[in-house]
Amino acid sequence: MTNENSLADPGTPRRQRMGVQPAASADAPPAAPAQKQRLGAAPSTTRHETAPSASGKVRMGAATTPAASPDTGPAKVDTAAPAHSRMGAPVPPPPGAVPAPGATPATPPTHFGRPAPSGGASKPDGRPQWVKPVAVTIGVLVLALAAVLCARWLRTLEPVQAFIATYDGHSSQPESAPVGLPAWVGWQHFFNMFFMVLIVRTGLQVRTERKPPGYWTAKKGSFFSPMGNTPKKVSLTQWLHQSLDVLWMLNGLVFIILLLATGQWMRVVPTGWDIFPNMLSTGIQYASLDWPTENGWVHYNALQVIAYFITVFIAAPLAIISGIRISTWWPEKAAALGKAYPVEWARAVHVPVMVYFVAFTAVHVFLVFFTGALRNLNHMFTSRDEVDWWGLIIFLASLVVIAVAWFLTKPLFTTPIAGRMGKVSR
C-alpha cells in the first residue's frame, strides 16, 4: 500500500511533508513576532505559500484551511502564529499579559454550574471561606451577651420586679386541665422525633444532591400517583422523603385526635389574654439567666405553651400544605387551583418551616437538659414525675434506634422497598 505522504518529494523536510510550514526563509519578509498575537494584536498579514499535500488539505493544520486549487492558488498559512495555534488550539496568554482593548476574556471553568473554586481556600472576592461563619458566630454571641446584660439590668428596676411578681410566667389554664402526661404522649413524642430527624435529613438531600442514587416512578393510579396524574419520575431520595412524610402525618393525626379526646389540648393552647404579659415575663427571666420555676408535669410556662401551640397547630399544617403542593400528589389537571396556589409560594414556605422545626428542637433539647434533665426525661419517656435514670436510659435507647434508621435509609436498603411500590431505574 502506498502512503500518500510518500508521494511527497523525498527531499522535503519531514515537518513540511506533514503539513507544518517551514520557518520563513531569508529572502522572505520577516514574520510578525508571536508575542504580538498573544497580547491581542492582529496577526501579521505576511503569508508564505506552501505546496498542498496529496489529500488536498494541509495535514495537521486547522480543518478549515483550504488546499491549493487552480482558481485560488496554493493554500496560505500564517507562519507567525505559534505551533499550537496552527494546530487548531487556542493560544493561552502568557503570565501577566494584558488583553488588548475590546478583547473578550476567556470564560473561567465551571464546577457543577458555578465558577470553579480557586484552591477551595478563598471566595471570588479574595476572602477566606471561614470569615463569614466566624463573623456570624461572633455577631450572635455579641447579641446574646448584650441581651443577657440588658435583661439583668432590667431586673434591677423596681417596676420590672413588680411586673415579674404579678406575672410569674405561667398564664391561666382551665381548671379542668389534666395533670401529668399519659403514656401515649411519650410514644407520640418518640415517633415524632424519629420521623422528623429522617425527614429533615432527606429533605436536605433532595435540595443538595447533584446526582441521585437512582430514580423511582410510581405505578399509575397508586397512592403516590393519584388518578388523573401522569406517573412522574423522581429521585429515590424524594420518594423516601414523601414516604416518611406520610408516616409523620399519620402519627400527627393520631396525636391530634388523642389530644382533643383526653383534654390535653388545654395544656398547649392559650386560653386567656394573660398569655402575652406572661410571655414577656418568661422571656426576661430566661434572658437574665435567672430562669422561672419549672413544673411541666402540672403547668407549662407561657413561652412553652405558645411554642407548642405554634409547632402543633401552625408549623405542622404549613409543612403539610406546602409539601403536598411540591409533591407528586398535587393534581396536575387542576389548573385553576395551581394558579391560586403557585408552587413558588409553597417552596418559599416549606424551607423556613423546616428551619423552624430544627430551631425548636435545638432549644427544646437544651432546656430539657438544663432545667432538670432526669425529671424532664421521665415526664417525656416514662410518664412519671420522678427523678431517676429510666427516662435517660430510654432516651439514649431512642437515639440508638434513630441512628440505626439513619443507616438503613441508604439506597442499598431502600431500593428493594421502592421497587415494590413502583419502578426503580438508573
What is the distance between the alpha carbons of residues 180 and 382, in angstroms, rounded to a whole number?
11
The structural domains of the chain, with segments of one domain joined by +, span 167-425
The residue with cell 410569674 is 168
What integer pLDDT is reported at residue 28 of this predicted model?
46
Q: How far is CA 358 from the centre of its chain?
A: 14
Identify the CATH class of 167-425: mainly alpha
Give the pairing of strands 422-425 and 215-218. Answer: antiparallel
- pLDDT (0 to 100) of residue 280: 96
Q: Which residue has the higher pLDDT, 118 or 314?
A: 314
pLDDT of residue 128: 83
Q: pLDDT for 101-139, tens place per residue?
A: 544 444 444 333 334 444 444 556 677 888 888 999 999
CA separation (Å) from 404 to 236, 311, 397? 19, 27, 11
- pTM beyond 0.75: the answer is no
Q: What is the pLDDT of residues 388-413, one digit of tens each?
A: 999 999 999 999 999 999 999 999 99
Question: Phi and psi at residue 176, in whole multiples of 5°?
Answer: -85, 5
Cα gap 133→151, rounded to integer Å:
27
Which three cell numbers mark 233?
A: 419520575
Is residue 59 very low, low, confident or very high in pLDDT (cuts 50, 70, 90)? Answer: very low
Mean pLDDT of the chain: 79
Task: Tell me the per-residue pLDDT of 61-111, one tens digit each, with 9 for 90 and over.
Answer: 444 444 444 444 444 444 444 444 444 445 555 555 555 554 444 444 433
Identify the CA nearest to 3 among candidates 59, 51, 50, 49. Answer: 59
Neighbours of 236 (CB within 10 A): 21
DSSP codes joined into one string, 282-343: HHHHHHTT-PPPPBTTTB--HHHHHHHHHIIIIIHHHHHHHHHHTSTTS-TT-HHHHHHS-H
Provide, for the chain, the percentages of residues in helix, strand and coil under a 3-state DSSP scheme, each rounded to the nearest 5. 50, 5, 45
